[in-house]
């Protein structure tokens, strides 16, 4: 009898092994607690796209972009949202991180209507508040554009730096004459009647860069991608599907509105418009050429501090999905 019981247990154990092997892999995603990536994750739930997904999602909220990068490097998460400039710099140190694009929206330079500021040179002697720090990419590219116009922003403006959520108040309370902030905060000001002097896209166009280049994307290690290719591709497909539905189906957008943290219909509509304008197409030769131009400008203006010493974007920066 004991022998029969033992045999039965053995058979059960062998039968159960394939069941364990088919468990869905988990993707640990680190995102900013206040980032717009939360909109897509909420849409995945609202649209019930995760029910038959090839993965389970484990969300880790972080306080700052730097905290997300540290979490990825430490192996605490599998994926974060950040820019390809950081990916290229890290690959230059031997890291195997890679970038999959999903948004080409960036910041905007905002002023009050009636401020008399109609060009960069009109900022001379004015107070300019900037999101982030001296190595903020929008700030570096704005300096590059001003340099082309023979105007040194560092010499001629009174600049301060602050966290993006705090910057709008600088303009609203007249503590700054202009601000350079992230797109969704700029859209909030625009809806209140403030003027967008330059968008991120217009800054790039002014620098002679004709093709839009996504600046934000999902970043993960290539080793993770190889080991979890089915789950990763399914995640990227479903997030794109959720994003497109939010932009084409009002029923898919309505549940996201509470996350916008505004009751103003005009602000809600403008945030929706700007968000949908940021959707990207697959990268091609034109986008790669634009990326090299942007990289060169950022490297030059930052004195290599943002990009590192490499003269060109590191191979493997953009995920090839091979």
pLDDT for residue 21 is more than 60? no
pLDDT for residue 22 is more than 90? no
pLDDT of residue 164: 87
Least confident of 19-23, 40-44, 179-183, 211-215: 19-23
Which pLDDT band, with edges at 50, 70 and 90, does 322 fall under? low
State pLDDT tens for residues 237-273: 999 999 999 999 999 999 999 999 999 999 999 999 9
Q: Average model confidence (pLDDT) for the chain?
A: 91
Strands 79-83 and 26-32, bridge-based pairing = parallel
State pLDDT tens for residues 271-288: 999 999 999 988 999 999
pLDDT for residue 6 is more than 70? no
Which pLDDT band, with edges at 50, 70 and 90, does 3 fall under? very low
Q: Let me know if domain 9-104+214-302 sits in CATH 3.40.190.10.
A: yes
pLDDT of residue 52: 94
pLDDT of residue 12: 36
d(CA 115, CA 122): 10
d(CA 50, CA 235): 9
State pLDDT tens for residues 177-229: 999 999 999 999 999 999 999 999 999 999 999 898 999 999 999 999 999 99
pLDDT of residue 18: 39
DSSP string covering 175-198: S-SEEEE-HHHHHHHHHTT-EEEE
The alpha helices in 47-196, defined as continuous H runs, are 65-74, 84-91, 137-148, 153-156, 164-172, 183-191
The full set of domain ranges for the chain reads: 9-104+214-302, 108-206
Backbone angles phi, psi at 318, to 5 degrees: -100, 125
What is the gyration radius of the CA atoms in the chain, in angstroms?
A: 23
The edge-to-edge listing of strands for the beta sheet with 108-111 is 158-162, 127-131, 178-181, 108-111, 195-199
pLDDT of residue 34: 82
State pLDDT tens for residues 47-72: 999 999 999 999 999 999 999 999 99
pLDDT of residue 128: 98
pLDDT for residue 155 is more than 60? yes
Give the count of beta carbons closer than 10 Å to the beta carbon of residue 10: 10
pLDDT of residue 123: 98
pLDDT of residue 106: 87
d(CA 135, CA 301): 9
pLDDT of residue 165: 83
CATH number of 108-206, picked from 3.40.50.12780, 3.40.190.10, 3.20.20.70, 3.10.20.600: 3.40.190.10
If we measure between CA atoms, which residue out of 105, 250, 258, 263 comes closest to residue 184? 105
Percent of the chain beyond pLDDT 70? 93
Which pLDDT band, with edges at 50, 70 and 90, does 321 fall under? confident
DSSP E strands in the chain: the ranges are 26-32, 56-62, 79-83, 97-103, 108-111, 127-131, 158-162, 178-181, 195-199, 216-221
DSSP string covering 202-213: HHHHHTT--S--
pLDDT of residue 5: 40
- With vertex at residue 104, the alpha carbon angle to CA 98 and CA 107, rounded to the nearest 5 degrees, is 115
18/55: higher pLDDT: 55
Residues 6 or more apart whose CB falls under 8 angstroms from that of 81 comprise 31, 32, 35, 37, 68, 216, 217, 218, 219
């Amino acid at each position: 009898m004991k022998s029969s019981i033992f045999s039965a247990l053995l058979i059960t154990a062998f039968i159960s092994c394939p069941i364990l092997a088919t468990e869905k892999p988990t993707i640990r995603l680190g995102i900013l607690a206040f980032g717009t990536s939360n909109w897509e994750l909420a849409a995945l739930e609202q649209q019930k796209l995760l029910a038959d997904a090839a993965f389970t999602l484990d969300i880790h909220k972080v306080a700052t972009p730097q905290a997300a990068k540290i979490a990825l490097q430490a192996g605490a998460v599998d994926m974060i949202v950040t820019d390809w400039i950081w990916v290229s710099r890290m690959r230059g140190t031997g890291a195997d991180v890679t970038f999959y694009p999903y948004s080409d929206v960036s910041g905007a330079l905002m002023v009050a209507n009636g401020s008399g500021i109609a060009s960069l040179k009109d900022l001379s002697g004015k107070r300019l508040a900037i999101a982030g720090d001296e190595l903020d990419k929008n700030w570096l590219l704005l300096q590059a554009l001003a340099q082309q116009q023979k105007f040194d922003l560092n010499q001629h403006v009174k600049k301060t730096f602050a966290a993006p959520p705090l910057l709008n108040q600088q303009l609203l309370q007249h503590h700054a004459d202009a601000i350079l902030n992230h797109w969704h905060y700029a859209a909030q000001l625009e809806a209140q009647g403030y003027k967008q002097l330059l968008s991120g896209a217009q800054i790039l166009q002014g620098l002679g860069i004709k093709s839009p280049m996504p600046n934000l994307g999902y970043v993960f290690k290539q080793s993770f991608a190889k080991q979890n290719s089915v789950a990763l591709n399914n995640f990227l497909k479903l997030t794109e599907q959720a994003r497109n539905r939010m932009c084409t189906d009002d029923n898919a957008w309505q549940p996201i509105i509470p996350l916008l943290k505004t009751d103003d219909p005009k602000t809600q509509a403008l945030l929706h418009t700007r968000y949908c304008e940021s959707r990207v197409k697959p990268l091609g030769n034109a986008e790669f050429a634009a990326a090299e131009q942007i990289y060169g400008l950022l490297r030059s203006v930052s004195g290599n501090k943002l990009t590192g010493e490499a003269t060109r974007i590191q191979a493997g920066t953009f995920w090839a999905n091979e």
